[in-house]
Structure 1
Amino acid sequence: MGNLSNLFHGKIRRTLLFVLLLLTGNGLSLSAQTVTDQLSRSVTHSGTSIKHVDSLLKLAGTKKDTATSNAVRLYYMGMEDARMLKYNNGVAHALAGLALCYNNNNEKDKALSCERLALHYCEDNQEGLEMRVNIYLFMSQSFYYKGKYDSSAYYRYAALDLLEANKVTDRRMQTRVYCSLLDFWLNINENIQNDSHIQQIMGHIDNLIDSANIKKDTTALMMLYYYKAGYFNNIVQNDSARYYCASAIQMGKATKISASMEAGLLINTALTYLDDKNPVPAIEYLKKAKALFPANNPIPNRHQIFADICTGQAFVMQQQYNKAITVTLPALNNAEERHMVHLLVGRGNQVLADAYEAVGQYKSAAEYRKAYTIIRDSMMKVEKLELVFNLEMKYRIADKNKELAEKQLAITRNESRIKTKNMLIIAVSSGLLLILLISVLIYRNNLHKQKLQLEKIRNLRQELQISNLQAMIAGEEKERSRIARDLHDGMGGTLGTIRTRLSAIFRRYTTTDVTEDFKEVLHLLEEASVELRKTAHNLMPEILLQEGLTKATALFCERVRKGHTLEITFQSIGAHTGLSSAEELTVYRIIQELVHNILKHANAKHAIVQIACHESQLAVTVEDDGNGMLSSAQSDGIGLKTIRERVNSLNGDLHIESVPGEGTSVHIEISIKHNNTARHAYQTSDC
């Protein structure tokens, strides 16, 4: 217990010693009770860590603009925890945050004390270097608000020296430094558009914008747009100023923009409308800026004060002079109490001078006009500062421009080298692509040729097959014709002679015993002659050669009907003039084979044979109501195989539809050529 007590009292003693060091920077002090209250909560954090400290300081940073007192307590807690962990960069961070809070409360001397002390805690590493740069920028801001512009300029350029000496290329650190320099010169000089310092700094700003765009660094880009908008606002290019303000605000929605920066953007936008003599939108933007901060803030910050003064200027434009006085007078008093002797006070005095003069209070108007003139004269003294620093600034900027030019030259050379390499890559790629394209085209052409050759070979094979079929059929028909002639001229003549001789013998030697036998022999000879003529006719029908396919088919159907029990009907549609005699003979043989199949296998009672000619097509249909065929019989039968070969020889199509027990329908389509237009007629014969 004694050790714990000693440890606790040791912490208290170290804390009090640290606070005394903190507050003796400018001979100022806080009450002991205030310090004890601020630190009593932090000494018990025995389990804290660096990560916890960073989180605590980050939380404090979010409150420094809207809840300054809460931010101060958080910074003190974070500072003590950092000291316990010997986390010096954390201590420096906390002190820098306290300085910002004191600046917001118009306690500039306390702010400078914290900033000077923070420099001693910056560690010798990258984080410490960045912290030192930020502290220099904070100190320059504190001196600026105290009206010590020479010291303000000194610390801004001290931050730039740190970057150069350590060859820092971090874009965000460069952004903060160059934006701080731009902010200083924008507020110091009257002739902004022709100022060489500002134009040189703007060159750096533009380069940083290009780099941030390439890297898609929205946070850095937002800050750069903020200061570029201020530049265009100062040179009265209001459309450009509004564009950069709106762009920065839009980026801030995704990056959690601080209230201070958003208020500055809204006020800058309002200033552009005031320059355009358009007070209505200016008032709206000023209201949005004030709404970012607590309305009951006991110590209004500079954004609130400036917003009220600009609102008064807008009321003057609207000729609402009493409103202008009401809103501007308290803001001007707050500005004077906080020693804001720069443009805030100057603008406020001018607004009140114009308002009082408009309402007829000329004495008050003269007093504020005089105060405005005095402030303007004091501001003009800054020109002496510019003369003092002019040579040093010129040499600094000249050196930087030389370095920038060298870097730009190196970049240009690299870009040229990369461009040449890219052109070479593009040329090689284009060549390879062209070769690939040509190869694909050649391949497709060869493939197409192969397909054409295969198609040609297939057609030749088909033509050869058809030629073979036609030759075979022609040979068969020739043989049939020869056999028919032999039968008709040979066997037919012989049988006829035998019949004649037997008839003569019968008449000469007739007796009762042999009469019946002779009659029977003569009858058999008669039947043999008839069958012989039928066979000869079937082998080579003379009527087909003389009358054509239709008459031959009709006669064939008539003979089938008379010789069998099958009721066969023949139908003819149209005139048939397009087929050669050889083709008609092939069609006739097909019909014969189909009818013979019906007689042999179908066991049918009725059948129909139809020949139809439709323009350039001949259709043959043979149907029966017989047994039908199985699917295997449709392809395996010798008769059907012969029929298919004959149809193929005519380049025709064969379709067979058969249902077992219901019959069979065979349909054949053959393309023909007509030399003359045929008259269509419908002819039916019941054979």
Structure 2
Amino acid sequence: MIATLRITISLFLALSFCNSGLCQEKSTQEVKLDSLFDEYINVVHASPVQAKLIADEILQISVENSYDIYAAKAHYLLGNLAYKKGEFSTTIEEINMAIDLLARNNVQEGLPACYNLLAVAYKNMGMLSEATEHFMSGLQLAKKLGDKRHEGNTYQNIALIYFQQQKYEQAMENLDRAKEIYKAINDESGLIDAMFNYANIHKEQGDYEQAREQYLKVLAYFERIEHYSKVAHVNINLSQMLIEEERYEEAVVQLKKTLQLLEKLSLHSDMAIVYNDLGLSNMKLGNLSVAIQYFDKALKLIDTANPPYFIGEVYQNLSQLYRMKGGYQKALFYYEQYVAYEESVNSLKKEKYQEELEKEYETALKETRIELLEREKSLKEAELQKSELQEKRQRLVKNVFIAGFLLVLITLIILRYFYVQKMKAQRRLAEQQEENSRQAINQLIKDYKLTVIERYQEGQEQERSRIAREIHDGIGSDLASLKMMLEHYLEHKGMDHNAGRIMIGIQNACKDIRNLSHQLHPLPFSQTGFSSFLKDFFAQKHNDGKLRINTFFFPEKDIDRLPDILLADIYRILQELVNNIVQHAEASEAEVQLTLHKAYINIVVNDNGRGMHQGKKASGIGLRNIRERLEALDGTMSIESSEKGTLVNIDIPLINHSNIISDEEAT
């Protein structure tokens, strides 16, 4: 299914730059830039390659002449082109640069468009929490600026988040809001995009007759204005309805025409959808070899890091096709891929349902506690009022209150003491059980220890990734939805003190969840820069407590070019060491050095804390995890500790990674 996301270019390009509040007469370069912007708009839908060359030229001229606003426009155009090609990470990078330039010049007019496109990119990466947050930021700013077109665009894009979650009523409500705004400002293209999304909902609900009628109206409009990418999107949806109606030969003809258009536009993510539909149609027609070729082409274009909804169907169909042709080995391979994919989907659904139950239980428990606290508060207020009326009993009431408070305090202290003792006993038991299990496992699989360590670490990374996704897509999405519903509610009821406090609490929770998920599963270091990522991590540790961390990375650029798998191990080692300092060292200052040599990388971490006991150097779980990780990397570690602090020195050879590093340097 292809949905229309509402992105506006012309309004952003209308943004002008004024110096010191007084608009200056445009220079020759500025006139040339305006001409290039007009040329971009004329070719962007028909020739994305030519549009990319124009946007690059605009950016070059803007940078050379220090035209920040024109540079912001250029970054927006490049982000839009990257989005059309399915390069969503590049879109996020370009739009963030545009936002920084606008903020630096105190310009707000282009921000709603930037937030809208940024949110659309996050949505297509499956990061619904971030998408909703940026949609809401853009919506608030559009309302503040009176930008009705972007307000309508945002409502339409929010509807697609609900559509993706199969919440069709909420999707319709937001589309209705967008439609009313487009009618008020006479925005024909906005109404057409809304009609396209209405048709998508009718299609998913099985109302093909009404969906086809709306699709054909939308198709005629996009063909008239020569918006070929959206022409392709409409044709894909029409073809998918033909497949659902078992009109496979008609679907094949339609899909082949659409594929030619997509190849000309270089829209690879949409080409994968068309290849899948062509494979399915030829499979139904009995053209088994042709179907296999199309499914294989679809798999080559699919991003395995963010697989589309139909990848399980592709695996299943390929398995069935190879079985019918007698290719049992490949049939078994694709069936195993299908089973693994289905198991991961079912596991995520089960865990999400369990988390929802736990959340409901915790909410009910908190509500009960709040009710008890309110009752206690009412009793205290009644006692105070009574003491004012009866001065003779004032001293007695105070004594009773103090005695009750002390009784509660003593009770809490006793309960906490027993709780702490119980937790210590459980921790000791767990540690003993873990040690016994580890000794038994090491005895049984001594010859395969390195393999087990590697798989264990891979499992940790996968679990962190899974938890991070669940936090983003589950709790994060729910909080963002709750925030949006509260804002809609407050639009009618008005803002009061308690509502403001609730809104701030929800925003802080969204921020904490985003930080936690990013720590559990950060973006690939090739995108963020490993040195920059570590500095942000240490800065967060400094903000969370009293520990000041000084860093020294040399050379930073060469370190950032190391393979992601090695950088991930280095990050986990540094994370464990810094967490140990924060939790146990009682240090006020620490230093982290990361030095890349020709044959190895050296890590030095030292602090001015109280030092480590001799026994903890070997028995700490964190240090054991580091040693196991270093054992898999053929690394070494030495620890020097005294009352003045601790110094950890680690060397990791680059022999196992030399091939990868050479390839990257060549690139």
TM-score normalised according to structure 1 size: 0.45
The structure whose RCO (Cα within 8 Å, separation 6+) is larger is: 2
Larger radius of gyration: 1
